[in-house]
Amino acid sequence: MASQSSGKAKSRNQFSGKLFQRDEYIFREGEPTSEGICLLLKGQIRSESIDRGTKSIQRNFTPGMLFGLSALVSETRIKSFLADDDNTYVIYIKEDDFHKSVVNDEKFFINILQSSIERLQRIPSSNLKKPEDQINLNTLLGEGAAKKFQAIRDQNLKILSYVYKLKSRTALPNEIIFQEDKSEDSDIYMLLEGSVHQFLKTSSENPAEIPVIDLQPGALFGFLRKSDREGHFLNAKAGADGAKLIHLDSDLLLKVSKLDTDLAWSIFQNVVITIAIIEMTMIKY
């Protein structure tokens, strides 16, 4: 089991936290995910997995990074995490504590989302790549992950009941939503109706489309940016039946957190899982 020697404490936003010393396990592969996902506040950690009996060190994490995200879609941990420094401090984020923090601090929801997205957007575009294989959530995050992620996207569509209060956009069939060479569009979107195709271009001279992913209602997109946020890394266009979108800006997220904490939790899950998928499949290490 993960080390219990350091004890637990409550952070100011309702979350339990633990202090770990170097080489202590935060949790082990195969353990229950009942403590939720984790946020590294201080120190460094490293991930570890065992494949066919061989132990493999995956990568290091630094403060501000979320990890253990399989807890959102799986009942067991899919890899181990250890402290890589003394006095490493980790907090655990569970749904009940998330709801309490949203109620107690109106900026909490916005801040935790923006922190996660900004960390992703600081990755140089030269370190990004097209996924080598078709994305399989069950392989990445554990058996049953795809079904649970679909349930999260379905929950996101509760936002339709508030859409009259929010800023939406309708894209015609095959209309370009944003292009990688246009820096003026800085929005992150939720797809409400229709479909969206995301793709790369082979070159500016011969811009053939390289498909990356097709999105269905409830999906979030627009996270990946080029260096210094000069445009999106991927292109996006509406599908054959068009698309209805909503802009996920700070004002909207603040309204959501006040109107419906269940919806806020759903959007949060979607954002961090999407970021995890990008980190697992589209970043060169």
Reference 153, options 220, 70, 77; nearest CA is 220
pLDDT in the model for residue 21: 96
Per-residue pLDDT tens digits for 200-228: 887 766 678 888 889 999 999 988 877 66
Strand pairing category for 88-93 and 16-20: antiparallel
Does residue 45 register a pLDDT over 90?
yes
Cα angle: 253, vertex 254, 258; to 5 degrees: 115
Does residue 6 register a pLDDT over 60?
no
In single-letter form, the type of residue at position 103 comes to: V
Computed over every residue of the chain, the mean pLDDT equals: 83
At 118, phi and psi to the nearest 5? -65, -35
CB 212 within 8 A of CB 198: yes
Task: Show Cβ contacts of residue 219 under 8 Å, excluding neighbours closer than 6 positions.
Answer: 153, 190, 191, 196, 270
For residues 261-274, give the mean pLDDT.
90
Q: Whole-angstrom Cα distance, residue 65 to residue 47? A: 13
Could you say which DSSP state residue 82 is in? E
More confident residue, 165 or 37: 37
Per-residue pLDDT tens digits for 155-182: 998 888 776 666 678 999 999 999 877 6
Does residue 285 register a pLDDT over 70?
no
Does residue 72 register a pLDDT over 70?
yes
pLDDT in the model for residue 170: 92
**pLDDT band, very low/low/confident/very high, at 230 (cuts 50, 70, 90):** low
pLDDT in the model for residue 217: 94
Please state, as a whole number, how many other Cβ atoms lie within 10 Å of the Cβ of residue 80. Answer: 20
Lowest mean pLDDT among 30-39, 49-58, 217-226: 49-58
Task: Show Cβ contacts of residue 109 under 8 Å, excluding neighbours closer than 6 positions.
Answer: 102, 253, 254, 256, 257, 264, 268
At 126, phi and psi to the nearest 5? -70, -15
For residues 194-201, give the mean pLDDT.
92
CB 167 within 8 A of CB 247: yes
Does residue 80 register a pLDDT over 80?
yes
Q: Whole-angstrom Cα distance, residue 97 to residue 111? A: 16
CB 191 within 8 A of CB 215: yes
Does residue 2 register a pLDDT over 60?
no
**pLDDT band, very low/low/confident/very high, at 264 (cuts 50, 70, 90):** very high
Strand pairing category for 8-10 and 16-20: antiparallel
Q: Whole-angstrom Cα distance, residue 142 to residue 120? A: 23
pLDDT in the model for residue 229: 58
Rounded to the nearest 10°, the torsion over CA 149, 277, 251, 92 is 80
pLDDT in the model for residue 56: 47
pLDDT in the model for residue 17: 92
**pLDDT band, very low/low/confident/very high, at 247 (cuts 50, 70, 90):** confident
**pLDDT band, very low/low/confident/very high, at 257 (cuts 50, 70, 90):** confident
CB 32 within 8 A of CB 71: no
| Contacts by residues 205-210 (CB-CB < 8 Å, ≥ 24 positions apart) | 209/235, 210/130
Per-residue pLDDT tens digits for 85-135: 999 999 999 999 999 999 888 888 888 888 878 777 777 777 888 888 778
Task: Show Cβ contacts of residue 197 under 8 Å, excluding neighbours closer than 6 positions.
Answer: 211, 213, 214, 215, 236, 237, 238, 239
